Structure 1
Amino acid sequence: MRSFAIYSLAALAEIGGCFAFWAWARLGRSALWLLPGMASLALFAFALTLVASAAAGRAYAAYGGVYVTASLLWLWRVEGIRPDRSDLAGAVIVLIGAAVILLGPRG
C-alpha cells in the first residue's frame, strides 16, 4: 500500500510537471509555468527513490502502470476528456503488469 501511495504521488508530480511544460510550449502560457513544472519533476524523481525496491529499473517498470492510469485520470479530470473503452482496457492491462512486477516472488 505504501508503494502505491508513493507511485501515486510520483505520477501526480510527473504529470503536473510535464503539463506545465505542455502549457508553456503548446498552450501559450507564460514561461513562469516552467518553474513549478521543474520543481514538480524534481519531486517526481525524488518520490521514486522512496519505493522499497532493490533495483531502480524494477521500481520504474512497476511505476509505469500507475503512470498510465494517472494520465488517463488527468485526461478526464483536468482536460475534460472522458477516457474511452480502449483507454480503460489499456489501464487495466498495465496495472496488472505493474502488480506482477511489484508483487511477484523474487528468488
Structure 2
Amino acid sequence: MLEITSTIVVFFFAALLEIGGGYLVWKWLRDHKGKILGLTGGLILFSYGIVMTLQPADFGKVYATYGGIFVVSSIIWGYWIDKKIPDRFELIGSVVVLIGVAVMFYFPR
C-alpha cells in the first residue's frame, strides 16, 4: 500500500510541475508576460522530467499511466486556477481515465 501511495504522490507532484511550468510558459507567450516567467516555467518543466524518474516502473508504462493522471490534474487545475467548472462529460471522462490508470499501473501481472 505504501508503494501505491508513493507512486500516486509522485504522479500528482509531476503533474503539478508540468502543468504549472507549462502555465508559466503559456502566460509568458500568450499574455506577453516577462521572460523570467518563461524561464521559470522552463525550469519547472525540466524538474518535472526529473521527478518522473522516481517512478519504479519502465518509461513507457510510467508515461502511459501519467497521461491519465495529467488529464485529471488538468481538469482540477482548470477548476482551481481558471475557475472553469468541469461539465459532466469531463468528470465522467476523468473517472474512466483513472480506472484505466489503475488497471495499467497497479493491477498485478
What is the number of residues matched between the two proteins?
A: 105
2:92 paired residue number:
89
Amino acid at match of 2:44: S
TM-score, normalization by structure 2: 0.92
Structure-2 separation of matches of 1:36 and 1:100: 35
Large movers: runs of 4+ above 2 Å: none
Amino acid at match of 1:49: T
1:8 paired residue number:
12
Summarize the alignment of residues 7-86 of structure 1 with structure 2, pairs less than 5 Å apart.
7-53=11-57, 55-86=58-89
- Which ranges of structure 2 fall in alignment gaps of 5 or more residues? none
Percent identical among aligned pairs is 36
Three-state SS of the structure 2 residue aligned to 1:38 is helix
TM-aligned CA deviation for residue 97 of structure 1: 0.7
Three-state SS of the structure 2 residue aligned to 1:79 is coil
CA RMSD of aligned residues (A): 0.9
Amino acid at match of 2:55: V
Q: Over residues 1-35 of structure 1, what are the superposed CA-to-partner deviations in whole Å (9 max), with x where a residue is unaligned? A: 10000001100000011111110111221121112
Structure-2 separation of matches of 1:21 and 1:64: 20
